Protein backbone atom coordinates (compact mmCIF):
# COMPACT_ATOMS: atom_id res chain seq x y z
CA UNK A 1 0.00 0.00 0.00
CA UNK A 2 1.40 3.42 -0.96
CA UNK A 3 0.72 6.60 0.92
CA UNK A 4 1.07 9.86 -0.99
CA UNK A 5 1.03 13.05 1.01
CA UNK A 6 1.13 16.10 -1.27
CA UNK A 7 2.15 19.33 0.45
CA UNK A 8 2.13 22.97 -0.55
CA UNK A 9 5.80 23.46 0.35
CA UNK A 10 8.82 22.30 -1.58
CA UNK A 11 10.26 20.58 1.50
CA UNK A 12 9.59 16.86 1.88
CA UNK A 13 6.75 16.14 4.28
CA UNK A 14 7.09 13.27 6.72
CA UNK A 15 3.86 12.54 8.56
CA UNK A 16 3.59 11.48 12.18
CA UNK A 17 3.66 7.72 12.48
CA UNK A 18 0.12 7.66 13.89
CA UNK A 19 -1.14 9.95 11.13
CA UNK A 20 0.30 7.46 8.66
CA UNK A 21 -1.46 4.67 10.55
CA UNK A 22 -4.76 6.56 10.20
CA UNK A 23 -4.25 6.68 6.41
CA UNK A 24 -3.55 2.95 6.36
CA UNK A 25 -6.71 2.29 8.37
CA UNK A 26 -8.82 4.26 5.88
CA UNK A 27 -7.34 2.37 2.92
CA UNK A 28 -7.54 -1.01 4.66
CA UNK A 29 -11.20 -0.45 5.57
CA UNK A 30 -12.02 0.47 1.97
CA UNK A 31 -10.33 -2.73 0.74
CA UNK A 32 -12.05 -4.80 3.42
CA UNK A 33 -15.41 -3.39 2.36
CA UNK A 34 -14.75 -4.65 -1.17
CA UNK A 35 -14.13 -1.27 -2.78
CA UNK A 36 -10.63 -2.24 -3.98
CA UNK A 37 -9.35 1.19 -2.99
CA UNK A 38 -5.88 0.63 -1.65
CA UNK A 39 -4.11 3.90 -2.45
CA UNK A 40 -4.64 7.12 -0.57
CA UNK A 41 -3.83 10.78 -1.11
CA UNK A 42 -4.26 13.35 1.65
CA UNK A 43 -3.88 17.06 1.10
CA UNK A 44 -3.87 20.05 3.41
CA UNK A 45 -3.48 22.58 0.60
CA UNK A 46 -5.47 25.79 0.90
CA UNK A 47 -7.39 24.88 -2.22
CA UNK A 48 -8.98 22.02 -0.25
CA UNK A 49 -8.99 23.52 3.24
CA UNK A 50 -11.36 26.36 2.38
CA UNK A 51 -14.09 24.12 0.88
CA UNK A 52 -13.63 21.70 3.78
CA UNK A 53 -14.56 24.53 6.15
CA UNK A 54 -17.95 25.32 4.65
CA UNK A 55 -21.21 23.38 4.87
CA UNK A 56 -21.31 22.32 1.21
CA UNK A 57 -17.77 21.97 -0.17
CA UNK A 58 -18.78 21.96 -3.84
CA UNK A 59 -21.82 23.43 -5.55
CA UNK A 60 -21.33 21.60 -8.86
CA UNK A 61 -20.70 24.73 -10.87
CA UNK A 62 -17.73 23.59 -12.96
CA UNK A 63 -16.88 20.65 -15.17
CA UNK A 64 -13.87 19.85 -12.97
CA UNK A 65 -16.14 19.53 -9.92
CA UNK A 66 -18.52 17.21 -11.78
CA UNK A 67 -15.81 14.53 -12.05
CA UNK A 68 -16.46 13.82 -8.37
CA UNK A 69 -20.24 14.26 -8.39
CA UNK A 70 -21.86 11.58 -6.23
CA UNK A 71 -18.48 10.42 -4.89
CA UNK A 72 -17.95 12.85 -1.98
CA UNK A 73 -18.55 12.43 1.73
CA UNK A 74 -18.11 15.12 4.38
CA UNK A 75 -16.66 14.36 7.80
CA UNK A 76 -18.17 16.97 10.12
CA UNK A 77 -16.37 15.72 13.22
CA UNK A 78 -12.96 17.35 13.54
CA UNK A 79 -10.97 15.57 16.25
CA UNK A 80 -7.64 17.36 15.97
CA UNK A 81 -4.67 15.55 14.51
CA UNK A 82 -5.54 12.06 13.32
CA UNK A 83 -3.56 10.35 16.06
CA UNK A 84 -6.28 8.48 17.96
CA UNK A 85 -6.52 4.72 17.43
CA UNK A 86 -9.49 3.95 15.21
CA UNK A 87 -9.58 7.42 13.61
CA UNK A 88 -8.93 5.89 10.18
CA UNK A 89 -11.77 3.41 10.66
CA UNK A 90 -14.06 6.26 11.70
CA UNK A 91 -13.22 8.27 8.57
CA UNK A 92 -13.55 5.19 6.34
CA UNK A 93 -17.01 4.46 7.78
CA UNK A 94 -18.07 8.02 6.93
CA UNK A 95 -16.74 7.56 3.40
CA UNK A 96 -18.79 4.41 2.91
CA UNK A 97 -18.59 3.57 -0.79
CA UNK A 98 -17.29 6.95 -2.02
CA UNK A 99 -13.68 7.70 -2.79
CA UNK A 100 -13.41 11.35 -1.67
CA UNK A 101 -13.95 12.90 1.75
CA UNK A 102 -13.74 16.50 2.78
CA UNK A 103 -12.52 16.44 6.37
CA UNK A 104 -14.07 19.43 8.13
CA UNK A 105 -11.47 21.95 9.32
CA UNK A 106 -8.69 19.79 7.89
CA UNK A 107 -8.47 19.03 4.16
CA UNK A 108 -9.39 16.32 1.72
CA UNK A 109 -8.66 12.61 1.48
CA UNK A 110 -8.93 10.65 -1.76
CA UNK A 111 -8.65 6.89 -2.17
CA UNK A 112 -8.30 4.92 -5.38
CA UNK A 113 -7.40 1.50 -6.73
CA UNK A 114 -4.05 2.94 -7.80
CA UNK A 115 -2.07 6.01 -6.88
CA UNK A 116 -2.77 7.24 -10.43
CA UNK A 117 -6.53 7.11 -9.82
CA UNK A 118 -6.27 8.84 -6.44
CA UNK A 119 -3.93 11.48 -7.87
CA UNK A 120 -6.20 12.09 -10.88
CA UNK A 121 -9.16 12.78 -8.59
CA UNK A 122 -7.00 15.04 -6.43
CA UNK A 123 -5.79 16.87 -9.54
CA UNK A 124 -9.32 17.69 -10.70
CA UNK A 125 -10.44 18.62 -7.20
CA UNK A 126 -7.54 21.04 -7.05
CA UNK A 127 -8.94 22.69 -10.17
CA UNK A 128 -12.55 22.68 -8.94
CA UNK A 129 -12.02 24.04 -5.43
CA UNK A 130 -10.37 27.39 -6.27
CA UNK A 131 -12.93 27.92 -9.01
CA UNK A 132 -15.69 27.28 -6.48
CA UNK A 133 -14.05 29.60 -3.96
CA UNK A 134 -13.70 32.45 -6.48
CA UNK A 135 -17.29 32.04 -7.67
CA UNK A 136 -18.56 32.21 -4.08
CA UNK A 137 -16.42 35.28 -3.36
CA UNK A 138 -18.33 37.23 -5.99
CA UNK A 139 -21.46 36.75 -3.85
CA UNK A 140 -23.32 36.39 -7.11
CA UNK A 141 -25.85 33.66 -7.80
CA UNK A 142 -24.01 30.43 -8.58
CA UNK A 143 -24.87 28.70 -11.82
CA UNK A 144 -25.25 25.15 -10.55
CA UNK A 145 -25.51 22.22 -12.93
CA UNK A 146 -28.81 20.38 -12.44
CA UNK A 147 -28.46 17.00 -10.70
CA UNK A 148 -29.79 15.02 -13.64
CA UNK A 149 -27.18 16.70 -15.87
CA UNK A 150 -24.38 16.50 -13.26
CA UNK A 151 -24.48 12.71 -13.26
CA UNK A 152 -23.64 12.57 -16.98
CA UNK A 153 -20.05 13.95 -16.88
CA UNK A 154 -19.35 11.95 -13.72
CA UNK A 155 -20.37 8.75 -15.52
CA UNK A 156 -18.44 9.78 -18.62
CA UNK A 157 -15.27 10.22 -16.57
CA UNK A 158 -15.88 6.88 -14.84
CA UNK A 159 -16.26 5.18 -18.22
CA UNK A 160 -12.58 5.88 -18.96
CA UNK A 161 -11.73 3.38 -16.22
CA UNK A 162 -8.59 3.18 -14.13
CA UNK A 163 -6.27 3.57 -17.11
CA UNK A 164 -7.11 7.30 -17.35
CA UNK A 165 -5.61 8.11 -13.96
CA UNK A 166 -2.51 6.02 -14.63
CA UNK A 167 -1.98 7.69 -18.02
CA UNK A 168 -2.56 11.15 -16.55
CA UNK A 169 0.00 10.57 -13.78
CA UNK A 170 2.46 9.06 -16.27
CA UNK A 171 2.17 12.18 -18.46
CA UNK A 172 2.95 14.41 -15.49
CA UNK A 173 5.96 12.26 -14.61
CA UNK A 174 7.26 12.52 -18.21
CA UNK A 175 6.83 16.28 -18.04
CA UNK A 176 8.75 16.42 -14.75
CA UNK A 177 11.46 14.16 -16.18
CA UNK A 178 12.04 16.74 -18.93
CA UNK A 179 11.88 19.83 -16.68
CA UNK A 180 13.39 18.70 -13.39
CA UNK A 181 15.36 15.49 -13.64
CA UNK A 182 16.06 15.54 -9.89
CA UNK A 183 12.41 15.96 -8.76
CA UNK A 184 12.22 12.39 -7.43
CA UNK A 185 15.48 12.62 -5.46
Task: Summarize pLDDT for 129-152 with one digit per residue, the tens.
Answer: 888 888 888 999 989 999 989 988
Walk across the sheet containing 107-112 and list its strands: 3-4, 39-43, 107-112, 100-103, 72-75
Report the range out of 35-39, 73-77, 80-84 with the highest average pLDDT.
73-77
Which pTM value belongs to this model? Answer: 0.71
Rounded Cα distance, 69 and 75, in Å: 17
Q: Which range is least confidently modeled, 7-11, 72-76, 130-134?
A: 7-11
146: Cβ contacts below 8 Å, ≥ 6 apart: none
Rounded Cα distance, 180 and 47, in Å: 24
CATH for 3-179 (3.30.70.260, 3.40.50.1820, 3.40.225.10, 3.40.50.300): 3.40.225.10
Enumerate the domain spans of the chain. 3-179
Amino acid sequence: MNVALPTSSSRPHRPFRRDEECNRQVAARQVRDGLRLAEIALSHRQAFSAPADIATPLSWTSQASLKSFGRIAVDDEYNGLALAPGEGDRIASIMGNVSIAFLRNHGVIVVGASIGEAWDDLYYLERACPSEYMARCTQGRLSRVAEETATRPSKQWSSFGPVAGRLHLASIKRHLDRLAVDYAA
